A and B are shown apart, each in its own frame.
Chain A
C-alpha cells in the first residue's frame, strides 16, 4: 500500500459498487455459480484480501491447477531424491519444492544442511552455483509461462558462458492445455475461469480463444489486488448471467493482447512443447515444455536415465481432486488434522500458493 494508486486498489468505497454488482448478477442466477481461479497467486490473494468472504451465498470460488509445485507428480520428487545417491550431484530448486514429501515421506529439504540441495530465489544465480561446483548441478525446472522465460534466459546465459555441468530437470507446464482438459472432462462442473494475470502478461489473450468455441465457458484475465479481483469476478459473473462465453481482459494495465513475444521467443530457443504428466489430471497432451534437440545434453532426465513419471498419491490425500476443483480443502479428511503446513501430506498444503495452505492460513468460505 505504498502509493495512493496502490491504496486505491484496496479502497472499500471503490470496492462497494463492484461487490454490489457481483451480488446482483449472482442473485439473478438461480443455482450455484462455480468459478475457478486457475492461478495459485489468485488463490492466495483472494483469501488474504478477504475477497472470498464478500461473495454471494450461491457462489463457489474453486482453486484450479495453477500452483506449479502442486501439479508436479510425486514421482518427480522421487527422481530428484534418487539423484542424490550420486555424491557429486548438487540439486538447485525454488524453495517451495523442497518440503513436498516424496512417496516414502522423505523430502529434499533434509539435504540442505549438507549443501546437497540449494535454494535459489532467481535462476540468474545458476551460473555462479554451477561454476562453484565440481560435480553436476541439476536445476529442478518447474513453473508456468511466467517463470519459464527467466529460467530459459538464465540457462542460455550459463551455456554461453561455457558452463557445462548444469542440467535441467524439466517439468514445466503451460496453462491453456490444462484449461482444455478441464473443459473436456466428462463430469465438468464449472461456469467460468478467472484467468491468470501473470501468465497472461507473457502469453496474451489469444491462447484462451478456444474458450469461446461451442461448449466453452467465459474467462476473464484478472489482476491480483483486491479491486482487480473484484473487477474480474464481476465481469465473469455478468457473462455467466447473460450466458456469454467471451475471453475478457480485466487486467489491461499489465496484460497486452499480444502478451510478451520477446519472452516467448527466449523460451522457444530452448524449449518445445511436449506431453506432460500433471498431478490430479494425468497426462495432458502438449501441456509441457522440454529441451529442444540441440540442448538434449543438458536434460537431466536423459543424462541420469531417470525413469518416466507416473502418478502415485499419498494415502488419503485429496490433492488430486482439489486441483481439479472437485473437492474443497476443508472437505479433505486430512485437512488441518494429519495435514498442516508444518507437517504436510500433499503439495497443496506445502506450497505458499497451494489451495490447502491458503485455506488453512486465511480460512475458507464461509468464514
Chain B
C-alpha cells in the first residue's frame, strides 16, 4: 500500500492507515535502538539527577529560512534542558496534523527532526500522531518532551546572582523572530534574515565548567532578551540589572528590518541565543569559552548586576540616557515557535 500525497483523517484513526503512516514514514525516518517497535511506552536508562521539560511548537509558517518546525522541536526543547545544565538525552514527539497536510512536507519535517537529533545527540524514543479536520489546525503542530542528565551538583538559579556579577549574551539577537515574520508576511526585506535555531548545549557545558562562578543561564526565546533579563531579577528584592544597549551584538540585517518594522531587537524571539550571569572575575574566561564556538563568536558582556534598582532592568540607551527595559507587553508576534 502506497502512502497518499496528503494527510487524511484516517491517519489519526488508530487503524490501518495510522499504522501505515507510522511504519512507512515515521519509523523509517526516526528509528534508533530504542524506538523500533509499536510499544505504548519505551524504557531508557539514566544516571544521576534527571531533568524533564516539555515544549509545544506551532510556528507559522512551519518551514522558514534557517530551520523548520522539526529543527525547532528538537533544538528548542534540548536548549531548555541545556540552560538548566542538563545534557539532553531523550525526546518524545507528539504530532497534531491537519487533514490535507502534504506527506512530503511531513517527511521533510521528520527528516529535520532526525538531523537535528543527530546534531544535538539526543534520541527520539516515543511518539504519537493525531489528525484534526481541515480548517481546524495549522498544518502541523509538534510537542516534544525532553529528558536530560544533570551535568553536576551545582544547580543554576537566578537566586545565585550577586552584586557585580557580569551579564553575558551568547550571540546576536533578533534573527529568529524576524525571519519568521519575513517568511510569513513575504516581506521583501527578508532575504538576509535567517533563524538562528541551533543547539546550545555545547556552549552551556563549556560555561558549566566554571563551577560556582556560573550563576544562571536562560535561553532568550519568546519575549527576547528583554523578557529573560526581567525574569532574572523580577523576583529579587536586592538586585537589578544595568544593561548597555549598544553592547548587544546585532547583525545589520536584523537592525535594518527591526527599524523598518518598528520593533525592538531586544524583544524579538531567538532560538540559538542565551543569557548567562557569571561572577565578574570569570566574565572574560566565560566570554572566551563562548567565542570558541561558531554561534558564540559574537558573545560578549552586556551588563552588570547592581543593587540600585532592585527587581528592575535598567537600559543605558545608545544616546547615553537610562530607562527601564520592561517585559514586552501585548501580543508581539503570535506563533513564533
**Which residues of chain B are near A47, meaning CB under 8 Å?**
323
> Scoring A residues 339 to 367 as 1 if CB is less than 8 Å from chain B, else 0, what string do you get?
00110000000000000000011110001
Q: Given A2-B256, A362-B326, answer yes or no on A367-B319 (Cβ-Cβ < 8 Å).
A: no
Considering the complex, give the chain B residue whose CB is closest to the CB of A15. Answer: B319
Q: Which of A26-34, A51-59, A290-298 contacts B (4 or more CB under 8 A)?
A: A51-59
| A49 near B326: Cβ-Cβ < 8 Å | no
Assess the A226–B323 pair: CB atoms within 8 A. no
Q: In the complex, how many angstroms separate the beta carbon of A329 from the nearest chain B beta carbon?
A: 13
Which residue from B255, B319, B329 sits with its C-beta under 8 Å from A54?
Answer: B319
A50 to B315, CA, bound (A): 8
Contact status B323-A363, CB under 8 Å: yes
Secondary structure at the B interface, as helix, strand, loop or mixed, is mixed
User: How many A residues touch the partner, as a band?
Assistant: 20 to 34
- Residue numbers in B under 8 Å from A6 (CB-CB): 259
| Residue B321 lies at the interface, judged by CB distance under 8 Å to chain A | yes
Given the complex of chains A and B, what is the CA–CA distance between A289 and B29 in angstroms?
66
Give the distance to chain B from A142, nearest Cβ to Cβ, in Å: 20
A52 to B317, CA, bound (A): 11
Interface residues of B in 288-337 (CB under 8 A from A): 314-324, 326, 329-330
Q: Knowing A1-B318, A226-B318 touch, does A50 contact B259 (C-beta < 8 A)?
A: no
Task: Judge whether B320 and A15 touch: CB under 8 Å.
Answer: yes
Residues of chain A contacted by B323 (CB below 8 angstroms): 47-50, 52-53, 362-363, 367
Residue of A nearest to B317 (CB): A50
Asked if residues B255 and A52 are in contact (CB atoms below 8 Å), the reply is no
A294 to B169: give the CA distance in the assembly, Å.
Answer: 61
A226 touches which one: B315, B319, B322, B324 (CB < 8 A)?
A: B319
Which of B256, B320, B330 meets A50, CB within 8 Å? B320
- How does the 8 Å CB contact mask read for A2-25 relative to B, with 1 for contact and 0 for none? 110010001110011001000000
Contact (Cβ within 8 A) B321 A2: no
Instruction: Find chain A residues with CB under 8 A from B320 CB.
Output: 12, 15-16, 19, 50, 54
Question: Could you say which residues of chain B place their CB within 8 Å of the CB of A363?
Answer: 314, 322-324
A39 interfacial by beta-carbon distance below 8 Å: no
A16–B326 alpha-carbon span in the complex (Å): 26
**Interchain CB contact under 8 A, A50 and B316:** yes
A230 touches B259 (CB 8 A): no
Could you say which residues of chain A place their CB within 8 Å of the CB of B318? Answer: 1, 10-12, 49, 226
Q: CB distance A12 to B259 under 8 Å?
A: no
**Any B CB within 8 A of the CB of A227:** yes
* Distance A16 CA – B321 CA, assembled complex (angstroms): 11
Question: Which residue of A is nearest B189, CB measured?
Answer: A2
Interface of A is mostly: helix
Q: In the bound complex, do residue B324 and residue A49 qualify as a contact, i.e. CB atoms below 8 Å apart? A: no
- Look across to chain A and name the residue whose beta carbon is closest to the beta carbon of B318: A10
Contacts of B330 in A (CB 8 A): 341
Contact A50 B321 (CB under 8 A): yes
Q: Compute how far the CA of A50 lies from the CA of B325 in the bound complex, rounded to whole angstroms.
A: 10
A361 touches B319 (CB 8 A): no
A residues within 8 A CB of B1?
A: none
**Complex formed: what's the CA distance from A344 to B260 in Å?**
29
Question: What residue in chain A is nearest B315 (Cβ atoms)?
Answer: A50
Q: Give chain A nearest CB distance to B181 CB in angstroms.
A: 14
Question: How far does the alpha carbon of A363 sit from the alpha carbon of B326 in the complex, in Å?
Answer: 9
Q: Who on chain B is nearest to A51 by CB?
A: B321
Name the residue on A nearest B308 (C-beta).
Answer: A367
**Once bound together, how far apart are the Cα atoms of A269 and B321, in whole Å?**
45
Taking CB atoms, residues of chain B closer than 8 Å to A3 are 256
Interchain nearest-CB distance for A365 vs B (Å): 10
Query: Smallest distance from the beta carbon of A21 to chain B beta carbons, Å?
Result: 15
**In the complex, which residues of chain A have a beta carbon less than 8 angstroms from the beta carbon of B329?**
341-342, 361
| B 240-258 contacts with A by CB, 8 A | 252, 255-256
Q: Which of chain B's residues have a CB closer than 8 A to the CB of A362?
A: 323-324, 326
Closest Cβ–Cβ distance, residue B133 to chain A (whole Å): 21
- Measured CA separation A342–B315 after assembly (Å): 23
Q: Beyond A50-B315, A226-B317, list 20 extra A-B contacts (CB 8 Å).
A: A2-B259, A2-B260, A10-B317, A12-B319, A15-B320, A16-B320, A19-B320, A47-B323, A50-B316, A50-B321, A51-B319, A51-B321, A52-B321, A54-B319, A226-B319, A230-B319, A360-B326, A363-B314, A367-B323, A367-B324
